[in-house]
Structure 1
């Protein structure tokens, strides 16, 4: 019996063909669908593959009576109601490895564009102008780049910035400094990044901790003339604060690939500013990234239906069925305990010591450990970063 797979966003052609040739799946491809069309066919699907356009919200999930699996072909899962999926026993996975290079290259491109006024100079030339003096820029060599978030993408940015002979400061409170020594950069506090950087780029999820990382209250703490780049999530920089900083001269330039509202409204206040570069969420928009996340997603899909393995699952552990039956009640309790612990101790958790006693100690408890750690880290990092 074949499994019905619904692909509801634009997807790499080779990926669709690979699924069809596998002989195990009935593939329903609805790239560029309307929401009404999605709702009309979702009840057929055992697996749903999406990118960023589809909103797998409570209404969609409620109609998905046969759905076992949602795969986000990419990293961010803020377009999936993970809590609702979990309540209905639907596993949510992402494909975190495929678009790291493309997003890092987008960040470096925006850094270079800000330094050399490339978009503005190009627009001027297209207006048949020759304004050489107006667009004098600055070299990147010797400048200090602050990188907030040193996961997959942040590390790729660091490699490229060092190749440009920039001095790099890194900040990530959830990765131990000793595990970042191979990057050969200075690991500093968030305050030091804001105070000392000529350019700052962010590569974190949007959480209560990262929201408004730059805001009206801490504009004064930024290095005068700093240039800010965001290819991660809209809202990490407060957009009203960006406008205020640009107008006062505290901020020397802004480059955004992501926005609090996407697409931004026609009256978005940063549109038309000379020292602002805006792109329409292009971070993962390359042929190579689309192919890579498609292949990673299909690998996960096949492995799940062939072997029951939930690789890169965000709400479910990989575990044998017998152990799962016993340990399952501990997953929710462990996560709640972790969140409670995080509430009392704050975000500065260095180590966690977990001990088991009684019958549960006879089982391999790694999935319960994961649930506890997820509870501790979720308030700061968000569900989409916790595999």
Structure 2
């Protein structure tokens, strides 16, 4: 019997054809990532999804033939992993596909912030030429702080060092080898906040990281710091961030992720000219899109051919399920 594969979101055409050419698969697409067609869902053996498709108990009760879910993302907070474990469904993700793209966006936000690129752009578009009002800073010799020295954080560290910056990092779960390979000192979270001129966050969404940056930290954070977040919006308390911006404690902020997405039009973050906002595009490059699609296709093929798995969820990592740290 053929295995039915239901693809619920954007997926590279080449990867789609790769699966479709296998005579053992029936591959179908859904026109909606929210309202999945019941006639396909009830008979699907595998789902290939992205973050817009939410996997919950209600969906799984309908998909009684389901054996496998692959999300073409590094994050997985759109999947109820307790429910998938209950129903005995294998779940995998593609954590390496967007590393370069996410690191690249992080650095793009850094450069936009340090050189005031957006205000300068708006000035020229408005027909103004007030060069003296646009000033930036040089990165060389300054300190770059990284919170989360995993795949993406390590790549961002490479960029920072290439710009002549002194890099420091906090990550209680990364092995010493990560720090030694990059020649980066391991500091406490508080030390990174106090000493960094630029800081970026590269952590997953967990109980431990929720609001790990709030009013208590803004009280002593290095004044004039540039803050970048391309990981998950929930790690920063946005009300406290706006308060810190109002107090003039931050030079600039670059955010690709938010506590609520899409960002509400009523958000106070929209009121600050030194805040750059992008709509969660860290993985939105042609290259990352294709890599995630093809990696997912390869994982699916391997699972149904010989039962092999990789990058399974929930992750077998010490940070998963960790309790909130003492703030």
TM-score by length of 1: 0.81
The alpha-carbon distance between structure 1 residues 123 and 314, as it changes in their structure 2 partners (threshold 3 A), is same
Aligned twin of 1:27: 27
Aligned twin of 1:128: 127
| Distance of 1:145 and 1:83 partners within structure 2 | 37
Aligned twin of 1:347: none
Aligned twin of 1:74: 73
The alpha-carbon distance between structure 1 residues 256 and 28, as it changes in their structure 2 partners (threshold 3 A), is same
Return the offset for 1:38: 4.1
State the secondary structure of the residue aligned to 1:270: helix
Higher RCO (CA 8 Å, separation ≥ 6 residues): 2
State the secondary structure of the residue aligned to 1:218: helix
State the secondary structure of the residue aligned to 1:271: helix
State the secondary structure of the residue aligned to 2:212: coil
Residue 58 of structure 2 corresponds to residue 59 of structure 1: yes
Return the offset for 1:26: 0.7
State the secondary structure of the residue aligned to 1:27: strand
| Distance of 1:38 and 1:164 partners within structure 2 | 50
Q: How does 1:324-343 map to 2 (within 5 A)?
A: none
State the secondary structure of the residue aligned to 1:380: coil
| Distance of 2:132 and 2:214 partners within structure 1 | 33
Q: How does 1:1-387 map to 2 (within 5 A)?
A: 1-30=1-30, 33=32, 35-39=34-38, 41-315=40-314, 377-380=319-322
Return the offset for 1:210: 1.4
| Distance of 1:104 and 1:26 partners within structure 2 | 36
- Regions of 4+ moved over 2 Å: 34-41, 176-180, 376-382
Q: Is the 8 A contact 2:101 2:288 kept in 1?
A: yes
Q: Provide Cα deviations, 1:296-354, integer angstroms capped at 9, x if missing partner.
A: 111110000000112111149xxxxxxxxxxxxxxxxxxxxxxxxxxxxxxxxxxxxxx
Q: Provide Cα deviations, 1:15-55, integer angstroms capped at 9, x if missing partner.
A: 1111112222111112x515234445311210000011111
Answer with 163-172 or 37-46: which moved more.
Answer: 37-46
The alpha-carbon distance between structure 1 residues 120 and 380, as it changes in their structure 2 partners (threshold 3 A), is farther
State the secondary structure of the residue aligned to 2:10: coil
| Distance of 2:188 and 2:143 partners within structure 1 | 15
Q: Which has the larger radius of gyration?
A: 1
State the secondary structure of the residue aligned to 2:78: coil
Q: Is the 8 A contact 2:262 2:279 kept in 1?
A: yes
Return the offset for 1:379: 2.5
| Distance of 1:315 and 1:193 partners within structure 2 | 29
| Distance of 2:322 and 2:100 partners within structure 1 | 24
The alpha-carbon distance between structure 1 residues 70 and 127, as it changes in their structure 2 partners (threshold 3 A), is same
Q: Is the 8 A contact 2:8 2:36 kept in 1?
A: no
Return the offset for 1:8: 0.1
State the secondary structure of the residue aligned to 2:235: coil
The alpha-carbon distance between structure 1 residues 2 and 206, as it changes in their structure 2 partners (threshold 3 A), is same
TM-score by length of 2: 0.95
| Distance of 2:164 and 2:14 partners within structure 1 | 38
Q: Please list every run of 5 or more consecutive structure 2 residues that lacks an aligned counterpart in the other structure.
A: none
Return the offset for 1:124: 2.1
Q: Is the 8 A contact 1:9 1:51 kept in 2?
A: yes
Q: Provide Cα deviations, 1:147-205, integer angstroms capped at 9, x if missing partner.
A: 00011111111111111111111111011324420111121111110000011100001
Q: Is the 8 A contact 2:257 2:279 kept in 1?
A: yes
* RMSD, matched Cα: 1.7
The alpha-carbon distance between structure 1 residues 142 and 59, as it changes in their structure 2 partners (threshold 3 A), is same
